[in-house]
Amino acid sequence: MPTFPERPKPRSAYGRSRLRRTCAIGCFLLSIMLLVIDGCGTSSPRFGSGESGVDPPRRKSPRFSREAQEERREDDKKPDPKTVGEVVSGTRDFRTEKNTAITPLDQSKIMRAISRYMGVPYVYGGADPRGMDCSGYTMLVYKESIGGELPRSAEEQFHIGTHVSFKDLKFGDLLFFNTTGPPASHVGIYLGDDLFAHASVSFGVTISSLESSYYKKRYTGARRVVSSGK
């Protein structure tokens, strides 16, 4: 006569209640673990990432994205590559636009600082070789070359030194532009022959021409921040 396994006895009400509590606790603990794992995976390190010490790239705000698009579209006058090479190497001499308030030695120091950061990417709020914005660049150039102390923002830099008319521009003068808001939301350093060095939103630290439609129509003024030779 065949035998069959004994049917399990129904769980008591107490057993079912205990099982439900156990399942609920397990689900709760699992959800906590998932939250912790998810948080570790999406948060960024406070002091950079990995061993490089380089902070993760910052996203451009909509206003800077729009500025970059306009700059690329309207920057229709590029300096001749040969001219740029001469400027960067220090072999180009702007005889007619020398600033007599800056000694030849100091001008050489400023040019070396200007050239040192060519190609560094634009980073809003940056002021070091990993990335810099326009006012961070001008501030760094003057500080490293001749120990000059400039304020941090283009707006603040617009209110120091003395006003200079466009026809009287000399090497080292700060040039200001209204790119995202008046009176000064962008700044660069005048070199001569309508050329200036700056940290461009689109191209990073570069040399541009004042004859470019983009800069010509946004130019708002210039300030001379070195009033006497050292």
Query: From first to last of its 230 residues, what are the pLDDT tens digits of the chain?
Result: 544 445 555 555 555 556 566 555 555 545 444 433 333 333 332 222 233 333 444 444 455 677 788 787 777 678 888 888 888 787 777 666 678 889 989 999 999 999 999 999 999 999 999 999 999 999 999 999 999 999 999 999 999 999 999 999 999 999 999 999 888 999 999 999 999 999 999 999 999 999 999 999 999 999 999 976 45
- In total, how many domains does the chain have? 1
**Nearest in space to 138 (alpha carbons), one of 107, 173, 170:** 173
What range defines the domain where residue 217 resides? 63-224
3-class secondary structure per residue, 129-194: CCEECHHHHHHHHHHHHHCCCCCCCHHHHCCCCEEECHHHCCCCCEEEECCCCCCCCEEEEEEECC
Tell me, yes or no, whether 50 lies in a domain.
no
Q: Is 186 a catalytic residue?
A: yes
Tell me, yes or no, whether 31 lies in a domain.
no
Tell me, yes or no, whether 88 lies in a domain.
yes
Q: Give residue 141's pLDDT.
A: 98
Q: Give residue 70's pLDDT.
A: 78
Tell me, yes or no, whether 23 lies in a domain.
no
Tell me, yes or no, whether 49 lies in a domain.
no
Q: Give residue 27's pLDDT.
A: 54
Tell me, yes or no, whether 160 lies in a domain.
yes
Catalytic residue among 23, 40, 159, 186: 186
Tell me, yes or no, whether 155 lies in a domain.
yes
The answer to whether the predicted template modeling score (pTM) of the entire model surpasses 0.75 is no
Task: Report residue 27 as tokens.
Answer: 């689900």
Q: Is 27 a catalytic residue?
A: no
Tell me, yes or no, whether 12 lies in a domain.
no
Q: Directed axis angle between helix 104-116 and helix 134-146, to 10°?
A: 140
Catalytic residue among 23, 27, 40, 198: 198
Q: How far apart are CA 153 and CA 142, in angstroms?
A: 14
